[in-house]
């Protein structure tokens, strides 16, 4: 006979649908979706267009959906509930039509509202049926009163592909690896099977942490540890906690900044020494911690330049000129760091200079010919054409005037735009500012509309 979990999994697979324009990292077991903020069966009463805030003075189009709640699986619900979603397609929104009966899983957004989307696990249900096998089985699963954690442990090696570090295929399962699970008043251990899989079943409700025993030659990504390798589970819920182990090949160390400098962020990056024309977000990077320490991992073996702002530009958060290890501003003076597989290099990374701000005073005129009240300006350092190295939202005076800072010694394009409505941005031609040290006076004039004022399109670049 099939177990209850096997039956539910088969039903789930049968109901699964592919969505175009939105890539989901799908759950493999329906009990994973029970970890949402709320789960219920309901019928759509109305679906209305909505504006969803992104940041100050900007929003994106979507929908608000009002449901009549028929059956609550989790979460304290009343007779009706409103769920937000995107517009559909690339934003993973999933607006439903009034009258549709659905199994809905919703999560709580940063705004405190409930949201759902194409990747949430929602399922259509027959309108004329009082019995739904998948809902009945989910209720039975909740009624078991237990939870479980499962996953897989594999090893991969990092390689460079198109200037990104990717995992060399195929990955290799790691059998007989010991994993420990802990919670308040609960500990257990298990080993991975031949295919690298493991499972802790029959767990009482609790907040669990899973930790593998790894050798000194391998490590896993510890970023967001509390969300990736911990799971707070109640009745019927489960979590996939998997691990990818990679060689410890890395460069780590400490950054020292000039006395009196108080940057908000310092990003250290390693870039292969044979690369030309480096852009933002290329290379392997890390933001220093509160002790100004960094770790560049995972790294494929090879020769690297290491530095700060060597693939980007000075900014208010990191106001330093491009600085290469061991603390020089010219690449020709930089030291190349060679690193072999499994090797860990420790370095001291001094920053000796602070970039000098250069004020830009400007007037902004809208497409209607009137002084603008606000403007969004992207700063393109022409050493890295096509990149928005940083941006500012500026509130303007009654004449459309404002000020921003660039940095002395660099040439810029400044791209001004203004959000009017979805797909109808006002755009201006880029302002060209040659390198120099003196203050600059310029004028932004909005001259056309576009769905998005992309730098590479305006500059006629082909990245």
CATH number of the domain to which 78 belongs:
2.40.50.120
Domain-located, residue 31 = yes
Domain-located, residue 225 = yes
pLDDT digits (tens, 9 = 90+) for 86-100: 988 777 899 999 999
Q: Averaged over 378-386, what is the pLDDT?
A: 86
Listed as own residue / partner, the contacts of 432-440 with beta carbons closer than 8 Å and 24 or more positions apart are: 433/360, 433/406, 435/408, 435/409, 435/410, 435/411, 436/358, 436/408, 437/356, 437/358, 437/408, 437/409, 438/358, 439/358, 439/359, 439/360, 439/361, 440/358, 440/359, 440/360, 440/361, 440/406
Residues 219 and 280 in one domain: no
Sign of the torsion angle spanned by Cα atoms 41, 43, 44, 45: negative
Helices and strands in the chain: count of H runs, count of E runs:
4, 34
- Let me know: does 256 contact 179? Beta carbons within 8 Å: no
Residues 13 and 110 in one domain: yes
Give dist(CA 257, CA 67) in Å, integer.
55
pTM for the model: 0.77
How many domains in the chain? Answer: 4
pLDDT digits (tens, 9 = 90+) for 234-265: 989 999 999 999 999 999 999 999 998 889 99
Residue-level pLDDT at 145: 86
Confidence band (pLDDT; 50, 70, 90) for 172? Answer: very high
Report percent pLDDT > 70 for the chain: 92
Decide which of 143, 162, 186 is a domain's last residue: 143
Q: Averaged over 144-155, what is the pLDDT?
A: 94
Q: How many Cβ atoms are within 10 Å of 349's Cβ, its own excluded?
A: 24
Decide which of 108, 127, 143 is a domain's last residue: 143
Kind and range of the H or E element at 251?
Answer: strand 250-256
Give dist(CA 88, CA 6) in Å, integer.
32
Residue-level pLDDT at 189: 98
Residue-level pLDDT at 27: 76
Confidence band (pLDDT; 50, 70, 90) for 10? Answer: very low
Q: Averaged over 384-399, what is the pLDDT?
A: 85
Residue-level pLDDT at 29: 86
Domain-located, residue 431 = yes
Report percent pLDDT > 90 for the chain: 66
Residue-level pLDDT at 458: 57
Instruction: Give how far Cα 220 sits from Cα of 92, 156, 176, 226, Å.
Output: 29, 10, 17, 14
Domain-located, residue 373 = yes
Residue-level pLDDT at 373: 95
pLDDT digits (tens, 9 = 90+) for 191-229: 999 999 999 999 999 999 999 999 999 999 999 999 999
167: domain range? 147-247
Instruction: Give how far Cα 199 sits from Cα of 141, 191, 204, 244, 356, Å.
Output: 17, 9, 14, 16, 56
Q: Give residue for tokens 């967001």.
A: 224
Residues 218 and 262 in one domain: no
Residues 11 and 96 in one domain: yes
**Helical residues (DSSP H) of 162-244, grouped into ranges:** 225-228
Rg (alpha carbons) of the chain, rounded to whole number: 27
Residues 75 and 16 in one domain: yes
CATH number, domain with residue 361: 2.60.40.1120
Residues 22 and 133 in one domain: yes
Confidence band (pLDDT; 50, 70, 90) for 462? Answer: very low
Residue-level pLDDT at 135: 87
Confidence band (pLDDT; 50, 70, 90) for 426? Answer: very high
CA atoms within 13 A on the CB side of 218: 15
Query: Is the pLDDT score of 422 beyond 80?
Result: no
More confident residue, 332 or 277: 332
Beta strands per DSSP E along 89-146: 101-108, 114-115, 123-124
Domain-located, residue 369 = yes
Residues 110 and 172 in one domain: no
Q: Which residues contact 421 (CB under 8 A, 6 or more apart)?
A: none
Give dist(CA 166, CA 174) in Å, integer.
19
More confident residue, 389 or 461: 389
Domain-located, residue 68 = yes
Residues 14 and 120 in one domain: yes
Residue-level pLDDT at 383: 84
DSSP state of 113: -
Q: Averaged over 122-133, what is the pLDDT?
A: 82
pLDDT digits (tens, 9 = 90+) for 431-443: 999 999 999 999 9
Residues 21 and 135 in one domain: yes
- By C-alpha distance, which of 58, 56, 78 is closest to 67? 78
Among 226-230, 366-370, 385-389, 419-423, name the one with the lowest average pLDDT. Answer: 385-389
In the chain the first and final C-alpha atoms are separated, in Å, by: 57
Q: How many Cβ atoms are within 10 Å of 328's Cβ, its own excluded?
A: 16
pLDDT digits (tens, 9 = 90+) for 299-329: 999 999 999 999 888 988 999 999 999 999 9
Kind and range of the H or E element at 140?
Answer: helix 133-143
Domain-located, residue 127 = yes
Average of per-residue pLDDT values in the chain: 89
Residues 139 and 51 in one domain: yes
Token output for 78: 């009343």
Residues 447 and 398 in one domain: yes
Instruction: Give how far Cα 40 sits from Cα of 68, 73, 87, Å.
Output: 10, 5, 22
CATH number, domain with residue 209: 2.60.40.10
More confident residue, 2 or 403: 403
Residues 322 and 385 in one domain: no
Decide which of 109, 127, 143 is a domain's last residue: 143
Domain-located, residue 463 = no
């Amino acid at each position: 006979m099939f177990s209850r979990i096997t039956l539910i999994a088969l039903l789930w697979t049968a109901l699964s649908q592919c969505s175009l324009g939105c890539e989901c990292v799908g759950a493999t077991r329906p009990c994973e979706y029970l970890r949402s903020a709320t789960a219920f069966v309901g019928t759509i009463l109305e679906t209305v267009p909505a504006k969803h805030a992104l940041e100050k003075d900007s929003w994106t189009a979507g929908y608000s959906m009002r449901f009549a709640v028929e059956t609550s699986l989790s979460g304290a619900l009343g007779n009706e509930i409103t769920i937000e979603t995107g517009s559909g397609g690339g934003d993973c929104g999933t607006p439903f039509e009034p009258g549709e009966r659905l199994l809905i899983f919703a999560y709580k957004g940063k705004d405190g509202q409930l949201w759902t989307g194409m990747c949430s696990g929602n399922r259509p249900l027959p309108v004329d049926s009082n019995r739904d096998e998948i809902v009945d089985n989910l209720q039975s699963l909740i009624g078991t009163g237990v939870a479980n954690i499962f996953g897989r442990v594999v090893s991969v090696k990092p390689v460079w592909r198109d200037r990104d570090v990717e995992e060399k295929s195929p990955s290799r399962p790691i059998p007989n690896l010991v994993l420990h699970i802990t919670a308040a008043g609960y500990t257990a251990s298990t080993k991975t099977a031949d295919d690298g899989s493991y499972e802790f079943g029959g767990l009482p409700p609790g907040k669990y942490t899973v930790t593998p025993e790894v050798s000194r030659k391998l490590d896993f990504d510890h970023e967001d540890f509390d969300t990736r390798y911990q799971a707070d589970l109640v009745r019927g819920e489960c979590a996939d906690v998997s691990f990818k182990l990679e060689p410890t090949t890395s460069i780590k160390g400490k950054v020292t900044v000039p006395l009196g400098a108080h940057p908000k962020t310092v990003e250290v990056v390693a870039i292969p020494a044979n690369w030309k024309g480096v852009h933002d977000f290329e290379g392997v990077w890390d933001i220093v911690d509160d002790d100004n320490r960094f770790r560049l991992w995972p790294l494929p073996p090879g020769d690297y330049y290491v530095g700060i702002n060597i693939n980007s530009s000075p900014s208010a958060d990191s106001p330093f000129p491009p600085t290469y290890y061991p603390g020089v501003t010219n690449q020709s003076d930089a030291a190349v760091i060679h690193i072999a597989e499994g090797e860990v290099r420790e370095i001291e990374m001094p920053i000796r200079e602070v970039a000098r701000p250069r004020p830009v005073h400007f007037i902004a005129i809208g497409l209607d010919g009137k002084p603008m009240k606000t403007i969004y300006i992207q700063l393109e350092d022409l050493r890295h054409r096509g990149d928005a190295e940083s941006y500012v939202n500026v509130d303007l005076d009654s004449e459309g005037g404002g000020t921003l800072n660039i940095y002395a010694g660099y040439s810029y394009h400044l791209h001004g735009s203004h959000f009017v409505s979805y797909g109808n941005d006002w755009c201006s031609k880029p302002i060209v500012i040659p390198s120099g040290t003196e203050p600059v006076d310029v004028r932004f004039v909005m001259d056309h509309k576009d769905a998005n004022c992309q730098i590479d399109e305006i500059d006629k670049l082909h990245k």
